Structure 1
Amino acid sequence: MSWFNCTKASAKRMLIVGLLSNSVTPLATAAVQEITAVFRPDSSNPQKNIFENTTPQSGICPGHIPQRCEALNIFSIRTLDITFESNRSIPAGHESEREGAMFKVPSAWRDLTVVHSETGAVETVQMRIAGIGGRWDTSRPPGVTAFGPQAANWGGAPAPCVPSGYIAAATSYLLWFWIVPEGAGACSRTAQLDIPWLKYTTFEYAYELKTPNPLGMSTGQYTGSIVFGIGPGEDFDFGDTMIPNDNNLIFNFTLDVQHTLKVEIPPGGNRVELVPQGGWQAWLTQGRKPTRLFSDQTFNVSSSTRFKMNLDCQYSTDGNRCSVRDSVFGHVVPLDVSVTLPNGLVDASAQPVTRRPLRRDGIGTELFLPSFYVDRKPGTLHFEIAQDEVGEMLKPGIGRSYSGSVTVIWDSEAG
């Protein structure tokens, strides 16, 4: 009695120069680290709806403790772009931790905003520094024993930091790394011998991320930045003696959302025949009019994104419903179309979608959301002509044939 179509929508470094005036303004420098993450729905694990951090790692996590980093959900970066050098000698047994090897990092969660490149939609990413380390070099004497006769005391982290189990040393330098708990304060070591000079020739840190739920985000890229100060009293505060070559560390974020919205109609499923319950036999042999004409057409849907649905019609009588038409007499009959979506796809109120009417203006089907990635799950389109209309269609002695085109639209450009 009708047919329909289905459519679907588819570290580098940077120099920042101050304003020029009649006096020379010192240059403020910043080290820049790009952070990238991507979301692609995984049909083998549809419940895993999180971003994958695609930022290349270096240092402690990939090279020494990968399993522990994975368990802690942290990622490490080792860079030569940021170095520290003492601005004075460090006396043995100094009273203030700020005179020696002190490390205070932004270990509490910080919010940053990422913005969709096309729509301007905003989301929040959270970040914290979860580990600190690197390499220090000093003169010899005192060499690697500057902080005590056992250089390995750097392997046992001072509270509130936690040991990582990593340390490597030679006569005048040492490599180390400590885990930093959330919201921790400064971790420090006191010099046991006078140290003429001290340098941090590599800078290494681990970070932890909390990313937004990608199922509520639009396809495309979200970008944003966060800036951490470096130096005495700043976010990365290594005391008053160790002075950095950079004033800021800038993290540039790019979150790439690659959603799936795919609808599959089985072969021949785009041609729908409306029939009575039990077929036409009762009408043909007994003259008993059917109470309704209907057909249910199944489809498979894969979706990790929000979408909306509506109709386009070849014929319409009331502006919002499609119709079928008798080509000989021109008689037009309204056709009710509704949809049932599989488990995992809900409406804006988080309610299941069962026989939800579809309209040309899309009212009532403006927003459907996945509560998890739905991968090739069956849904149903319901087509029906109500009993009141069936009586007008079936006249004794008059043969009529009704047809019409109905286009069902799945549109990922939903609000």
Structure 2
Amino acid sequence: MVSGLRTSNTSRKTKWSAALYGCLICSTSHAVTQEIRAVYVPDPANPQANAFINQTPQSGYCATYPNDCKPLSGVRLPLRFASVQALEPGSSERNGAMFNMPAQWRSLMVTNVFTGETATVDMRIGGFGSQYVLSDTAANLTGETDDQQAHYKLWGTSWGVAPLPCRPGAMPSHGPDFFRFFWKTPAEGVCAKRAAFMIPWMSYGYLDVGYELRMPDPLKMSAGLYSGQLAYGVGPGMDIDAGDNLLPDGSDVTFRFVLDVQHVLKVDIPPGGNKVVLVPEGGWLAWLQQGRKPARLFRDQTFNISSSSRFKMFLECQYGGAQSCGLRDSEGGATPAQVFVSISLPDSITDNAGQPVRRRPLSASPDAPGFQPGRFLDRAAGTLHFEIPRDYVEQMLQPGQARRYAGNVTVIWDSEV
């Protein structure tokens, strides 16, 4: 008296394709756009690393001196500033050389381009730099013959020393008429230098930006591409403010985010596991020799699951059923038996309430609640529990009658939650 059942698993993964046009840095006379691209791909060799990896090529100061930039990533933007009047000794802060950068965290929403699902990314500007270029050499402007001393004398301090609240980068450099600098911004506020000599004209040739990100938890995001953007205004009184004298050639900087979430959902059932034979506890001897009907028929089928994303589970039955699947008598064609299926999942997978999944009943409803991994799992053990309760066993077992009950049960693991 056995019943043969078939189990299978399917992984429904969103398929997508996208044509992306443009370049990493695109500039017009009014705006600068910088793409920030990050990806999450589960790593079986490092299952605890459940975070996005920034794939944006570094450029500028942070590319040349990455250790000095950490934990920032950096890009060089084609944003230029030029003075509209001479920088005079004793001029106001806003008419001199100053910066006020958006050092506080700001949030933006990224949206799955196929499902509309959203997540939040936080960004802050943690450092910036450029190269100032003078209308003449610092030596000619100050009368000092040594270049390094001339730059120092021109401002009364070195640009390698950042004014508070900024902090200096470790690797400034200079030439006769230029000085390269990078200042870190642990807090928001004006960082200003005042000229000690008249400077007829001055410019910044580019803007290096060191940025820091707080990314969403990829395990709680569906697979696919997410996009969103964060714009900073540039100019006097704007987010990126270099004062009233040194004016930009662009009106805003837009960071365009593209997050690529690539999940894994794979279930491996041991060889032969697609045929499930339900038997009494202790076997059939008590029934065959003593006529004592078993309390139930059951089988626990183990499997290994690899998962990095939410998923749900439900049944497809050959012979109907909502909460259970029918088994058909091969002799008479009736379906007096019902098999109930439940699931036990690894400890790090929980239900919607954050509770462990232990013998959770499965149904034929595709709208069943989902399960959430707390980390990437690689071939973690789970168990499918198949059981025919006593009431059905009573109907199936009749003295002197040998019958076989069988039916197909398909167990679906679905990542399209």
Q: Percent identity?
A: 45
Give the residue type in structure 1 aligned to 2:395: E
Conserved 8 A contact 1:146-1:194? no
- Which residue does the alignment assign to 1:169? 174
Partner deviation per Cα, 1:292-312 (whole Å, 9 max, x = no partner): 110000011111111111100
Q: How does 1:5-404 map to 2 (within 5 A)?
A: 5-10=7-12, 11-15=24-28, 29-64=30-65, 66-70=66-70, 72=71, 74-79=72-77, 81-94=78-91, 96-138=92-134, 139-140=136-137, 141-142=140-141, 145-146=150-151, 148=153, 153-182=158-187, 184-316=188-320, 318-332=321-335, 333-362=337-366, 365-404=368-407
Q: What is the alpha-carbon distance in structure 2 between the residues aligned to residue 150 and residue 87 of structure 1?
A: 19
Task: Tell me the SS of whatever aligns to 2:110.
Answer: strand
CA contact (8 A) 1:49 1:214 kept: yes
CA distance in 2, matches of 1:357, 1:347: 12
Question: SS state of the match for residue 5, structure 1?
Answer: coil
- 1:32, distance to aligned residue in structure 2 (A): 0.8
Q: Does the CA-based 8 Å contact 1:339-1:381 persist in structure 2?
A: yes
Q: Deviations over 1:238-260 (max 9, x none)?
A: 01110111111111111111111
Deviations 1:57-100 (A, max 9, x none): 01222311x23433x2x111123x21111101001232x21121
**Structure 1-normalised TM-score?**
0.91
How far is 1:159 from its partner? 0.7
Distance 2:214 2:384 in 1: 39
Secondary structure, aligned partner of 2:205: strand
For 1:142, what is the secondary structure of its paired residue? helix
SS at the partner of 1:215?
Answer: helix
SS in 2 for 1:263: strand
Task: After TM superposition, give the deviation of residue 362 of structure 1 in Å.
Answer: 4.5
Equivalent residue of 2:171, what SS? strand
- Structure 1 residue 285: deviation in Å? 2.1
Shift of 1:146: 4.7
**In structure 2, what is the equivalent of residue 23 of structure 1?**
none
Structure 1 partner of 2:15 = none
Displacement after TM superposition at 1:152 (Å): 7.3
5+ long unaligned stretches in structure 1: 16-27
Please give the alpha-carbon distance, in whole angstroms, between the structure 2 residues aligned to 1:164 and 1:151.
Answer: 19
Runs of 4+ deviating beyond 4 Å:
149-152
How far apart in 2 are the matches of 1:44 and 1:59?
A: 33
* Cα pair 2:307 2:373 within 8 Å, conserved: yes
Within 2, Cα distance between the matches of 1:123 and 1:201?
36
Q: What is aligned with 2:19?
A: none
Q: How many residues align?
A: 394
Q: State the alpha-carbon separation in 1 of the partners of residues 26 and 291 from structure 2.
A: 85
CA distance in structure 1 between the aligned counterparts of 2:193 and 2:358, rounded to whole angstroms:
65
Paired with 1:82 and 1:381, the residues of 2 have a C-alpha distance of 60
Please tell me the root mean square deviation across aligned C-alpha atoms, in Å.
Answer: 1.7
Name the stretch that deviates more: 199-208 or 2-11: 2-11
Instruction: List per-residue Cα deviations over 1:124-158 (Å, max 9, x = no partner).
Output: 11111110101111012227635526897212211
Please give the secondary structure, in 1, of the residue aligned with 2:206. strand
- Cα 1:4–1:254, aligned 2, differ >3 Å: closer, same or farther? same
Q: CA deviation at 1:9?
A: 2.6
The AA in structure 2 aligned to 1:69 is: C
Deviations 1:4-35 (A, max 9, x none): 232223233254xxxxxxxxxxxx61011011
The answer to whether the Cα contact below 8 Å between 1:8 and 1:412 also exists between their aligned partners in 2 is no
Aligned-partner Cα distance in 2 for 1:49–1:12:
29
Q: Per-residue CA shift, 1:222-280, capped at 9, x if unaligned? A: 11111111111111100111011111111111111111111111111111000111111
Deviation sequence 1:132-188 (CA, Å, 0-9, x none): 101111012227635526897212211101122110111111111011114x20111
